[in-house]
Structure 1
Amino acid sequence: MSEAGIDSVALTRTGYPVMVGKFWAKDEDLVDGIRYTRCLPGRLGETPESRLEQEVARAMELVDEFDPHVLHATTDYRNALVAQAVSAETGIPWVFEVRGLMEQTWIASHRTPTSREAASASQKASLVSAREGELAAQAGAVITLSQTMADELERRGVDAGVITVVPNGVEKSLLDQDLTPQGARNRLGLDVPPDAFVVGAVSALVPYEGHDVLLHAVSEILHSSHVSQVVRDRLHVVIAGDGTAAPSLIALAAELGIQDRVIMPGRVPREEAKFWVQALDVVVVPRLDLDVSRAVTPQKPVEAMALGRPVVVSDLPALRECVTNSRGQICATLAPAGDPSGLAQAIVDLADSDRRRAALADRAHQLASERTWLSMVRRYVAAYDRAQWECREGAVGGD
């Protein structure tokens, strides 16, 4: 944001990152030029309410030091509660950025359709949904990732006029990377044949991401007499990342008899993640057809497109929007969600044609060039201006 003339400082939630095992965390960190300040009280509050109060107190100290024009809270609603409280105390306008739907992510984390149905009908889901909608409706401006998300927020009572859509962006430097798949594999020491055709993902391994569908699709290809022997001999899968679904994916690969074609390196260092993407001939985002997948756009497809890789995504509203450029052109291959056969066909079609992959990668790269962070920041500026205007109008109306 500094390139656009915006100075910012971030406050992380009370107890973070100590609460996730980083016991020697510093009071501050500098990440990508952004100062992250911690809320690490000598004694952690015993209740969620007391921890939020500690965060408000720390935020007030930062307000005195930094003198911000706008308070910017990101998902989930607990951060919005802090921003709202500080705004009420100081008169500084606040913005709520909704980057996910907390209750839908929680529902999607359940492994079986039965448990997801029970979670969806639970009081927790309805209360969280209502609280997030209520807070978004009270913010001076709302920012979200997609029109799909904006439509959902409207259904929750947020005025469409206060919502600004800011799609996931990419670092401009990614657009200049030209490492070939083989070059990336050499750099990583990836053990696949020189002529391998590698599909896969670099992602959190959670059930709703649908990586089991990818493994079933690959199994279909490898065992199909209708697919050329060349494609079958060359096909390999890389799924990099970690999460609750990792053990079941490893077990599934063995059950399908394709473990010799599957590489799962686990969590990879942040600075190496782009090389794992570049090692792929095709990046696959096989999300399941769940509410969270239909509404929330992931970051990974646009990063893969910036790196010049053709992408296959599930044909769901948020993912279609994610891969559609400003001229309305879809810049990825769409595959039916949850359908291994449909995904298998999409992979085979790309494996069969170097020209098709190159054309798709070129369109994808052009789309990513529209979504650099610098261009996205201009939309944030518009939202900040609106929040400040709303705040001034409210003050005038209250006189």
Structure 2
Amino acid sequence: MNTDHRRPPAPQLTGGRRRELTRNVRLLLQAGLQHLADDPALFAIQVSRRLPFSLRIGLGRALQQLSGRFPGLGSLGSLMAGRHDIAEALLDKADDADARALSRLSGEVAVLLDRPDLLSAATPATTRARAAWARGDLHRAVDILESSGAGGSRYARRLHSELQLLEPGFRMPTDRSPDPEERPEGPGGRPLRALHLLTNSLPHTQSGYSLRSHRILTALRESDVDSIALTRTGYPVMVGMLAARDEDVVDGIRYLRSLPAALPQTQSERLQHEIDVALRLVDEFRPDVLHATTNYLNALVAQTVARARGLPWVLEVRGLMEQTWVASHSTLEGRRSAEKSEKAALIAAREAELASDADAVVTLSRTMADELVARGVDDREITLVPNGVDDSLFEDGVDPATARTSVGLDRSAGVPEDAFLVGAASALVEYEGFDVLLRAVAVLTGDETVPWEMRDRVHVVLVGDGTARPGLVSLAEELGISDRVHLPGRVPRESARRWVEALDTVIVPRQDLAVSRLVTPQKPIEALALGRPLIVSDLPALREVLTTDQGTACARFVEPGSPADLARAISHALLDDGDAVAESAVGRTMARKRSWSEQVRRYRVVYEQILNSRGGGDADGQ
């Protein structure tokens, strides 16, 4: 028997790991101080999102109580707690309009609320400039700073840098042009190699973007294509991952980081650091092709490195950056203004220009491809690779009751055994339209044409986190349905499928916005693979991805933004009219044809075509 009760010695940090942590602390402090100085309201919101959800809401409500003496602080708290309406009202009713305008915090909150009308000429210049930038009036933002004497500030330098990157024809500087004798000779007898340039990745970010990237990389490996990935400068330390390493390996896939010793001050400087890291990786890894994924910043890195090393590059367009930015505005007026803004026009033109410069373009759907062609991209250079599904989703499936037990959706969580669960596993952001789902459930529970014992079974489960989550909690309280709305937050990647299997019907109630009409989400196809019935907004991108080649719908389509239409569809599913079962069966068959192992072969074809067009090896890689 061991009688030594002394604690075992703590693990010792190696010199390299100590240097990593020291650098990470420095980067995080620099980023935090920069954000605090530039935008204190947004900084407070971002910090609060890293708190436990209940603590975040409680803190926001506590700050809201201070609104009598400090309208700016009270409105910030309301915003933190998801009560945009209260935040606006607090700023609107401030007794002294001039004092309100002079309060920098109040002004910054007004910018976050998409309410530039609450600002005045007395508002600090940096806040007025930020409001103009948020509206997409980029040159106006710079003019405000210059006319106020702040044209040489660090903030002004950052804005100038971002404007420069959007200039037509602008290219990042490179160390040298490739020597023709140093151009790659092709793969020869080894597997093809690709360097992927990503915005974020697993294990630090779990999103449709990072999951698609990981599934592509793992499927490419099975297709005899060796890949490594590099993420943007500062990631993941800049999103709060203090323990981040220079490299993560997930399922055998290497994710390398661009982490400088000190935080670059401008976007150009950050891109330059990433370019330098990418050049070193190219010299070490010797890839045959560069593969950049949305957005134009990744494309700029790929373009520069390709030019410096004589490599071909592919641009994968998974979304349109300016449309995602437009959708982020919280008001209809703000979205309309953003659609017509200078920023939207510049980003659209810049991304089209870079897509045209790439050796090949990959995108998710015909709907997206048509938009790219309309922007001037050659249709012959575009390859479609729709969202796919893991083969594993067709294996080891469980019934909803078993799945609910597995994830804890039982009576202890307020979920009756006979509950009819609707919802999704998704990012909780405004354009996903989950507020429409909550309103639809409120409509359904008050619909006397449906027997009460049936209505009472309906519960909502929304798995995930995002900017809309606090507002959804507040809306559920306002509608009186809090007891039947469950928001467990983020869940481990390994258990996400069980949460979907626990649902009786998956709902995708996306708003009718340009980004939703064009971009096909990944979650619906995964739901089909798991045999879940679907109710989705009737939008072009969703129609395309959820319709078979024979024209058979694999989901029930509803009018976007209509709680009444969605409530009718849920009631049909609740009453089990048989259509949903038939649709999900067709959908599961279709999903089998869209496994990543099948989809990813198109990438290899693209790589081989552009290599052959440059004389860089034969099609078999021999």
TM range (shorter): over 0.9
Deviation at 1:354, TM superposition (A): 6.5
**1:232-270, CA deviations, whole angstroms, 9 ceiling, x for partnerless residues?**
021111111111111111111111111111111122222
SS at match of 1:12: strand
Per-residue deviation, 1:385: 2.3
What's the counterpart of residue 129 of structure 1?
Answer: 348
Judge which range, 225-234 or 372-381, deviates more.
225-234
8 Å CA contact retained: 2:556, 2:580: no
Q: TM-score, normalised by structure 2?
A: 0.62
1:199 to 388, 407, 422: 422
Q: Deviations over 1:314-360 (max 9, x none)?
A: 00000111212233322111111111111111111111117333222
Q: Distance in 2 between matches of 1:327 and 1:6?
A: 33
Separation of aligned partners in 2, 1:136 and 1:124: 18
User: Which residue identity is paired with 1:140?
Assistant: D
In 2, Cα distance between equivalents of 1:387 and 1:347: 48
Per-residue CA distance 1:280-320 (angstroms, 9 max, x = gap): 00000000000000000011111111111111110000011
Q: Which has the larger radius of gyration?
A: 2
Which residue among 371, 374, 380 is the counterpart of 1:161?
A: 380
The aligned residue for residue 86 of structure 1 is: 305
Larger CA deviation: 74-83 vs 113-122: 113-122
Corresponding residue SS for 1:71: strand
Q: Secondary structure of the residue that 1:13 maps to in structure 2?
A: strand
* Count, aligned residues: 393
Provide the rounded CA distance (Å) in 2 between the counterparts of 1:109 and 1:178. Answer: 36
Aligned equivalents of 1:115 and 1:308: distance in 2?
39
> Aligned-pair distance for 1:104?
0.5
Aligned partners of 1:217 and 1:340 also within 8 Å: yes
- Residue identity in the other structure for 2:519: V
The answer to whether the Cα contact below 8 Å between 1:177 and 1:307 also exists between their aligned partners in 2 is no
Whether the 8 Å contact between 2:264 and 2:270 is mirrored in structure 1 is yes
C-alpha distance in 2, partners of 1:293/1:386?
32
Which ranges in structure 1 are unaligned for 5 or more consecutive residues?
394-399
Quick one: distance in 2 between partners of 1:135 and 1:289? 28
Give the distance between the partners of 1:176 and 1:112, measured in 2 at CA. Answer: 43
Separation in structure 2 between the aligned mates of residue 200 and residue 387 of structure 1, nearest angstrom: 43
Partner of 2:594: 371
Q: Which amino acid aligns with 2:550?
A: R
Corresponding residue for residue 70 of structure 1: 289
Partner of 2:473: 250
RCO higher in structure (CA 8 A, sep ≥6): 1
1-structure distance, mates of 2:369, 2:577: 37
Does structure 1 residue 186 correspond to structure 2 residue 394? Answer: no
Instruction: Give the alignment of 1:1-399 within 5 angstroms.
Output: 1-190=220-409, 191=413, 192-353=415-576, 355-392=578-615
Distance (whole Å) between structure 1 residues aligned to residue 577 and residue 408 of structure 2:
24
User: Amino acid of the residue matched to residue 469 of structure 2?
Assistant: A
Aligned partner of residue 422 in structure 2, secondary structure: strand
3-state SS in 1 of match to 2:258:
coil
* 2-structure distance, mates of 1:137, 1:178: 43
C-alpha contact 1:140 1:386 (8 A) present in aligned 2: no
Output the CA distance in 2 between the equivalents of 1:392 and 1:93.
11
What residue ranges of structure 2 are gaps of 5+ in the alignment? Answer: 1-219, 617-622
Residues 341/177 of structure 1: CA separation in 2 closer, same or farther (3 Å cut): farther
CA contact (8 A) 2:510 2:537 kept: yes
